[in-house]
Amino acid sequence: MFSIGEIIFILVTCAIFMALVAAVSYYMTKGNVGTADEYFLAGRGLTGVFIAGSLVLTNLSAEQLIGLNGQSFANNMSGMAWEVTAGLAAIIMAIFLLPKFLGIGISTVPEFLSKRYDETVRRMTVILFLLGYMCVTIPSMLYSGGVAVLQLFDLPELLNITYTQALWLTIWFVGIIGAIYAIFGGLRAVAVSDTLNGIGLVIIGFLVPILGFIMLGDGSMVQGMKHIVQNSPEKLNAIGSSDDNVPFFSIFTGIIFANLFYWALNQYVIQRALGAKNLAEGQKGVLFTGYLKLLVPIFMLLPGLIAFHMYGDSIRDSDLSYPTLVSDVLPIWMLGFFLAVLFGAVLSSFNSILNSVATLLVLDIYKPVFNPEASDDKLIKVSKILGIFIALVSFFVAPFLMYAPNGLWNLIRQFTGFFNIPILVIVLMGMLFKRIPSIAAKVVIGFHVIAYYMMVWGFRQIFDWDPGINYIHVYGILLAIEVAFMLIMAKAKPLQTIKPVFYAESGEDHLVPWKHAIPASITLIMAILLVYVVFSPIGLAYEHAAVSNWFWPSVAVLVVANIILYIVSIKFWHKKYSSYVEKQTEAARESRISGD
């Protein structure tokens, strides 16, 4: 328990850092939110650095600091599958989808669905997004931040109030600050503040496990690292079994699709990429994000393992392992900085989603339905009003997540299953097959919501029967069914007239791909494989030594393969890829002209 003087010092240093971030963000964005394009998409002028910084911090929030470390504390490293394999989705987004999205010139994913299918599909998708964001995604971020603050300062005892009262107080405090960023600053302010907070997150993210290893090793970082390798090495295994929360094969049956939705179609994530200055900058930002995700196991999972070795069974709630470790290993003079970074991570994700939800409501519901001729000033004003309403709803929902039965992380992933797979299916199938009718997309959305509920909860609640299928596998099962249905509909009831998806007018270099897009993608794939080799039974999870005899030969194979493929891609594949993008763009422009 901290003294009053220590708490004041922590809060003052926290306020100084947060004020510095706010001041820099204001200075870099003042006077730049006069148009709707600037407010919602940063004037389509974001560079790769700001895109990557904003994407990473939008994704890395307190729910992951708390939830993933809680999973590694209770189980093993298998939870890293959600993070490390995100690079595969980033590659698909950068190479295949981003050229199409930037060429079309859309501001939201539902806007594309309107062009490809019809307005009903657009609105059904917006409803899915909004329900997921307001009822689960935003509240979970506020809740996880509140839990961390409560554990760090023991607010119930400090303020002489109950735990529930302290949680409500913290959630509202964090939420109000985040809402101010998003509602009044627009996307550019969010992106700048995200990047600055991201620097702090990386610093703290590395410091906590380093100091944790030092404490575990009685002053020696090396001894601390040896301790977790030599004692319970199975905890370092990322190859999850069927009994783990994240079975390894669920990467291929569900996680890869969930990640593809998140990094390629999730509005509050791709809005940064849609705001790119050009295709090259967008690809740089998206692919660099994939590389940054490889660092996640260091500060999102290793601290949980360190906490397991330090505290064991003394911590009954695994979600409290990370904040407990932080309060023990960080010196007082750094806790203010940590608190600022924690707030920054929460605010980043919260204000990013809030900005994107307002974008969906204004551009996909309000403008096309209620006021097609609305001015930019009117759109921004309505967006701010809707943002305030959404924020208030989230403030009331967030505290009730304390009653989640299986931990925060599982709850979030289970509920996102309601909307990630159907949106992924109808977007990708709509791009790949031009004859699929709009009725197929509508049926897929309705079917998925009902079928997913029944397979994950309904059969157990209504019929007292458990199918025994991990919810991640349900992702893959329903995806296969829905893809098959859309293909059947394309044959049985095909569109008689193909609707051209018009391309936006742009400069000559707007859709020129980044020269190193293909080589960087190859290296990213090899890096993902390398991380799995490290955290596997032939790597650090080997029971009889630090690593097995297969470890170094496996690493050598990956390095040699990467060098060969990198050289080939520079010499041959980049030219072919550039030609492919150019042909796609030209064909789309011709369809626009003929459509006119």
Lookup: tokens for 157: 């005892």
Segment 217-241, tens digit of pLDDT: 998 999 999 899 888 888 999 898 8
Q: Is the pLDDT of residue 186 over 70?
A: no
Q: Which residue has the tokens 């609305």?
A: 374
What is the CB neighbour count within 10 angstroms for residue 52? 26
* Coil vs helix vs strand at 117: coil
pLDDT number for residue 452:
93
φ, ψ dihedrals at 550, nearest 5°:
-85, -10
- The alpha helices in 361-470, defined as continuous H runs, are 376-397, 408-416, 420-432, 438-453, 459-463
Q: Is the pLDDT of residue 190 over 60?
A: no
Contact indicator for 50, 196 with CB cutoff of 8 Å: no
Q: Is the pLDDT of residue 369 over 50?
A: yes
- Hey, what's the torsion of the CAs at 49, 54, 55, 58, to 10 degrees? 160
Q: Is 240 left (phi over 0), alpha (psi -120 to 50) or beta?
A: beta
Instruction: Give the whole-angstrom CA distance, residue 116 versus residue 427.
Output: 9
Confidence band for 351, pLDDT divided at 50, 70 and 90: low
Contact indicator for 279, 287 with CB cutoff of 8 Å: no
Confidence band for 187, pLDDT divided at 50, 70 and 90: very low
Element of type H or E holding 52: helix 48-59
What is the CB neighbour count within 10 angstroms for residue 564? 11
* Mean pLDDT for all residues in the chain: 80
Contacts of residue 335, Cβ cutoff 8 Å, sequence gap at least 6: 10, 13, 152, 326, 327
Segment 453-508, tens digit of pLDDT: 999 888 988 888 888 888 888 999 999 999 999 999 999 988 877 665 555 555 55
Using a cut of 0.75, tell me whether the model's pTM lies above it. Answer: yes
Mean pLDDT of 354-368: 77
Q: Is the pLDDT of residue 596 over 50?
A: no
Confidence band for 180, pLDDT divided at 50, 70 and 90: low
Q: Is 216 left (phi over 0), alpha (psi -120 to 50) or beta?
A: alpha
Instruction: Give the whole-angstrom CA distance, residue 441 versus residue 124.
Output: 10
* Coil vs helix vs strand at 219: coil
What is the CB neighbour count within 10 angstroms for residue 447? 15
pLDDT number for residue 192:
63
Report in angstroms the alpha-carbon separations of 540 from 68, 229, 319.
Answer: 19, 6, 24
Instruction: Give the whole-angstrom CA distance, residue 315 versus residue 74.
Output: 10
Segment 427-448, tens digit of pLDDT: 889 888 888 999 999 999 999 9
